[in-house]
Every structure is written in structure tokens, then in C-alpha cells.
Amino acid sequence: ERQVWRNAAWIGARMQMVYGQRPVNGTLRSYALARDVVAHEIIHGLTDHTARLKYEVESGALNESYSDIFGIIISNFDEPDVAQWNWELGEDLDVTGIPLRDLSDPTRRGQPAHMRDFKRLAPGEMPHPRENDSGFVHHNSGIHNKAAHNLLTATNPDGSFTFTPHEVSALFAVALTEILSRTSGFSDSRAGVELVARSLFRNDPPATRGAKLDAVTK
């Protein structure tokens, strides 16, 4: 009997990505066909071998967010107009087409979009993979996801986008692989992206460089 496993995962101990499947018109369709899902899991592997973000509480939420960010960037990379991008993640995981998360509006799928709504463990409660999702890592990732969405969609006074997708990819990629460490949190990611921006855009005209740095800080 054919088995259905509605999930995908990076298994670090085995150095392996695993993709489940769901029934579509009487056949099984692998989640490996969904570029956002594939990219999400690949980035978990990259994180494990660079920043090594501990998979619990805030560093765990940051771990999940970096995978979400690159899942969205990679799945939309064939679309040059960011205004036309699809910000939904994991909509292929269910026949309903309802996404797991939405970077443009995390609250749509029950996530916080601001640090004031960060979900914390109760006093004395320890992170547990099943009981509280390792400290609500998939929930709280919405905060950093929304910050990334704001960066990707930042605009200049004339309405043009402040950054290209390549530039935003470089900001987050270098921060993840060269600056962040095992216990880094959201504020460390912000500081890292700001540092990368100062280096990456150092040769831009002053006005352009200033606009980009202001957008990153904001």
C-alpha cells in the first residue's frame, strides 16, 4: 500500500533531505516538486554547516526564518518584478492550497509580525520538539520573516524598489554564513545584515548607498 507523508525535512544527523508526498488525481506527488519547500530544506543544511543556529526559542525561530526567506526568494527568482512575487510558503503541501506561512502577512497564518507579540515559554518551561515546537520556532519566525519582506519590498521615493532580489539574497546569505553563530537571535541578524550592507554597497553613489542603509535599518 502506498504511504502518504505530508512533510519535508532536513535530517542533519544523516546529512539527508527527505520529501514526502500527497495524493493528486489518484497518484502520489512528491513535495520535491515545490521549489520553496526544497529550498527551505536545503537552507537548513546550509545553516547547520555555517551559523549552526541552535534549533530552539529565538535562535531556532531565526533558523526557520532564514529557510523561509530563501525558500521564497528561490521560488520567485524567475519573476524579475518583486511586485508580482508569491509570498506564500508551503501551499503545495496540502490539496487545499492553503500555505503554511505568508511572509507578506504572517498574521494571516497565526504568526506574529512584530517582536512585541513574540511567544515565550512559560516560567520553567523547557523547549521540547513536540510539546512546544522547540520553543515555538515555527510561530515566532514570522517576526523575522516580516522584516525580510519589508526589506525585499522597500521602495524609493519614485516608487522603484530599493534593492534587487540579488542584493537582498547577498545580504542574508553573507550574514548567515559569515556573521551569525549558534546562539544568535533577531537582533544579531539585524546587526549582521547592517554590517554586510555597509560593505556590499560601499561603492554605490552616496545617495543610493544612504537609501539602502536607511532601508536596512528601518
Task: Please identify which of the residues 91, 138, 167, 194 carries the catalytic annotation.
Answer: 138
User: Is 138 annotated in the active site?
Assistant: yes
DSSP character at residue 114: S
User: Is 49 annotated in the active site?
Assistant: no
How far CA 18 is from CA of 15, 40, 42, 76, 79, in Å, comes to 10, 12, 10, 22, 27
Residues 75 and 169: beta-carbon distance below 8 Å: no
Q: How crowded is residue 113: how many other Cβ atoms within 10 Å of its Cβ?
A: 19
Task: Please identify which of the residues 41, 58, 64, 88 carries the catalytic annotation.
Answer: 41
Catalytic residues: 41, 138
